[in-house]
Amino acid sequence: MTTASQEFLRAAARESANLPRRQAIRRAIDQYDAAVQRGREQFLDYEAARRKCYEIKWEALNHLDRYLEEFEQRVRARGGQVFWAERAEDARRYVVDLATARGVRTVVKSKSMVAEEIHLTPALEKLGARVFETDLGEFIVQLRNEPPFHIVTPAMHLTRADIAKLFEEKLAEAMSPAASRDDPAELVAAARRALRRAFFSAEMGITGANFLVADAGLIAITTNEGNDRLGTALPRIHVAIAGIEKVIPRLEDLAVLWPVLATAGTGQTITCYNTLIGGPRAPAEVDGPQEFHVVLLDNGRTDLLADAEQRDVLHCIRCGACLNACPVFRSIGGHAYGTTYSGPIGSVLTPHLRGLNEFQHLSYASSLCGACTTVCPVQIDLHHHLLHNRRNAVRASDRPWSERLAFRFWRWTMSGSRRFALAGWLGRATLRGVRALGLAGTTLDLLRPWTRYHAAPVIPRKSFRALWRKNGAR
């Protein structure tokens, strides 16, 4: 068992037992579910929308080189710069070198899972720059020194009282003295006040990108708050970091992707700000950054691309729907996973980006219920890929020897009906014997992993086979 999996087991145990936290998650997700029902009403046929999004991403990924080159060419034609980063450290180095060369002291950052993935913020802070998360949820978890809890709603696990207490501690100057301390509108206003100075003084704005539009050479960013807008209007440098899989072929593809992303992400029909950026400020324009850099990140994505069976994992538009649908996520929350990407997509993706050996446990931490696959707007076969990861782990001889042995024995037992019947009889007899000897609940009790959480089952005296022979054949 690796450290990551030990950590996960500990965290999962702790979080599953945290009833108030589970209830908070449940409330947030119930609201999300209700909102999604309303958002879906804009679609005559939501399944047709999902299929269309699947088609767009399939087209993009299966011609990825062509579309990336087209995108790059158009961005460069407008005076933008494109850097292709093979690994996280290459991307980090590029941004850090740029910040150093330009004397950047303050950075405003929009939400970017890729920036999380490459741990960009600590690298910039080491330079002595101050980095401000401007998405409210990200800002909140940044103040708490913790990672985001959820791809779309980073502070989903906190109550307004938690946030009020945090702001009183860390944002005292921005809190209005008169107002009610835990009124969400007041808290938002305090964050706005605190961050507005950062926006107007920052030299660099960093964003992610939801999509890279090839035929127009534009990046597309989606927010509700408008923090991406201020962060790309005011500072003199804009750096956008995106995984190479974010590319889409055509501008018109957004006509269905934008609404679907909004509905699956928050239940809205469309998000408030959908921004398309293709370069630095154009010569005749009133304002805007002097420099525009797009960092394209590989960091294991080309390996996943090469896995034809799981290539569709790269369809992901990071909407978070699978997290919300997942009963495991609902029980343990986002932090327990211990990875940048949590929930079903995280469990499928992380072994590919960071190694199957160390992260296969996430693919096993699922009942394979399939709810994720049902809601994924780009039709990724998520739960089957969890299974595929398991199969790959076994093939790589990466499983505990005790488990391998157990299944080999199990297969032998199941390979003949007499063996099968004997094993059944032996199992039942042993379990009854353990009970009779008063050893239930001890290490000799084979059922202990089960009875830790369940009342002891009744062990039948007779097998079905025996019952059939006696009564059933009539």
Partner 1 sequence: MDTARVLRRIGCAIDFPEAQTCCGQPAFNTGYWDEARPLAERFVRVFRSAEAVVCPSGSCTTMVRNCYPELLAGTALSGDANSLGQRVFEFSEFVVKVAGIRDVGAYFPHRVAVHDACHALRELRIKEEPRELLRRVRGLELVEMPASEECCGFGGTFAVKFGMISAAMGDTKAGNAEASGAEYVASTDPSCLLHIDGILRRRNSPVRTIHVASILAQTGRAKESVEIAARARSAE
Partner 2 sequence: MERAENPGRERILARIHSALRASAPRHDAGEKRAIFVSVADPLERFQQQCALTSTECMLVPDAAAAAEALRTVLESIPAGEIFAQDAPLLHRIVQRAEGGRAVRWSNAGPPNEGSQATITLAECLVASHGSVLIASNGAGRAASVAAPVHIVLAGESQLVPDLASALARAKQDRLAETNSCLFLITGSSRTADIEKILVLGAHGPRRLVVIVMRDLDA
Taking the C-alpha atoms of residue 363 and residue 345, their distance in angstroms, rounded to an integer, is 10
Encoding tokens for residue 209? 């990108």
Angle 107-113-119 from CA coordinates, rounded to 5°: 60
Site for partner 2 in 299-338 (CB under 8 A): 302-303, 305-306, 308-309, 311-312
Tracing tokens 């691309």 back to the chain, one arrives at 305
Q: Which of the ranges 264-272, 316-324, 441-449, 453-461 carries the binding residues for partner 2, by CB under 8 A?
A: 264-272
416 binds, among partner 1, partner 2, none (CB under 5 to 8 A by kind): partner 1
Encoding tokens for residue 389? 């990861």
Q: Which of the ranges 15-23, 107-115, 170-178, 183-191 carries the binding residues for partner 1, by CB under 8 A?
A: 15-23
Shorter beta-carbon distance to partner 1: residue 211 or 329:
329
Q: How far is the CB of 379 from partner 2 (least distance, A)?
A: 6
108 forms bridges with which residues in the sheet?
A: 132, 205
Q: Which of 16, 22, 55, 365 binds partner 2 (CB under 8 A)?
A: 55
Q: Does 390 bind partner 1 (CB under 8 A)?
A: yes
Site for partner 1 in 21-40 (CB under 8 A): 22, 26
Q: Does 45 bind partner 2 (CB under 8 A)?
A: yes
In three-state secondary structure terms, 134 is coil
Residue 401 and residue 364 in contact, taking contact as beta carbons nearer than 8 Å: no
Q: Does 1 bind partner 1 (CB under 8 A)?
A: no
Site for partner 2 in 282-301 (CB under 8 A): 282, 284-288, 292, 296, 298
* Strand-pair category, 291-297 with 273-277: unpaired
273 binds, among partner 2, partner 1, none (CB under 5 to 8 A by kind): partner 2
Q: Which of the ranges 13-21, 25-33, 338-346, 387-395 carries the binding residues for partner 2, by CB under 8 A?
A: 25-33
Site for partner 2 in 218-247 (CB under 8 A): 218, 224-227, 229-230, 232-234, 244
Q: Which of 281, 354, 399, 435 binds partner 2 (CB under 8 A)?
A: 281
Residues with Cβ within 8 Å of 58's Cβ and at least 6 positions away in sequence, in order, are: 312, 315
Taking the C-alpha atoms of residue 222 and residue 219, their distance in angstroms, rounded to an integer, is 10
Q: Minimal CA–CA distance to 163: which of 188, 133, 194?
A: 188
Shorter beta-carbon distance to partner 2: residue 259 or 361:
259
Q: Does 187 bind partner 2 (CB under 8 A)?
A: yes
Residues with Cβ within 8 Å of 246's Cβ and at least 6 positions away in sequence, in order, are: 209, 210, 211, 212
Q: Which of 4, 12, 36, 85 binds partner 2 (CB under 8 A)?
A: 85
Shorter beta-carbon distance to partner 1: residue 93 or 384:
384
Taking the C-alpha atoms of residue 124 and residue 275, their distance in angstroms, rounded to an integer, is 25
Strand arrangement of the beta sheet that strand 106-109 belongs to = 81-85, 291-297, 237-243, 204-207, 106-109, 130-133
Q: How far is the CB of 398 from partner 2 (least distance, A)?
A: 23
Angle 17-23-28 from CA coordinates, rounded to 5°: 135
Shorter beta-carbon distance to partner 1: residue 126 or 454:
454
Q: Does 391 bind partner 1 (CB under 8 A)?
A: yes
Q: Minimal CA–CA distance to 184: which of 236, 246, 137, 227?
A: 137
Q: What residue ranges bind partner 1 (CB under 8 A)?
A: 9, 12-13, 16-17, 22, 26, 327-328, 330-332, 364-371, 373-374, 387, 389-395, 399, 403-404, 407-408, 410-411, 414-417, 420, 449-450, 452-458, 460, 464-465, 467-468, 471-473
